[in-house]
Amino acid sequence: MDDMEFHRQDAIRFLSEALTADRVTVEQFESRLALVRQAPNRASIDAIVADLVPTGPVTPTAVQAHQLEDLRGLAPIEPASVLRIATVFGSTKRAGTWTVPLRLELRAVLGELVIDLRDAEFWSDVLDIDLHATMGSVTLIVPAGAQVENECEERFSSSTHSIRSVKGRKRIGLLIRITGLVRFSSLDIKEKRPSSEEGEMPAWKRLLGGGD
CB distance 102 to 123 below 8 Å: yes
What is the CA angle 82-98-131, rounded to 5? 40
Total residue length of the chain = 212
What is the rounded average pLDDT for all residues in the chain?
80
Question: Each residue of 42-93: pLDDT tens digit?
Answer: 888 888 888 887 654 433 333 344 443 443 444 444 556 889 999 999 999 9
CA 123 to chain centre: 19
Q: Where are the alpha helices (DSSP H) in the chain?
A: 3-20, 26-38, 42-48, 60-71, 203-207
- Is the separation of the CB atoms in 103 and 82 below 8 Å? yes
Q: Give the count of beta carbons closer than 10 Å to the beta carbon of residue 1.
A: 7
Task: List, for residues 151-170, the tens digit of each pLDDT value.
Answer: 999 999 999 988 765 666 67
Q: Report the percent of the chain where pLDDT is more than 90.
A: 36
pTM metric for this prediction = 0.61
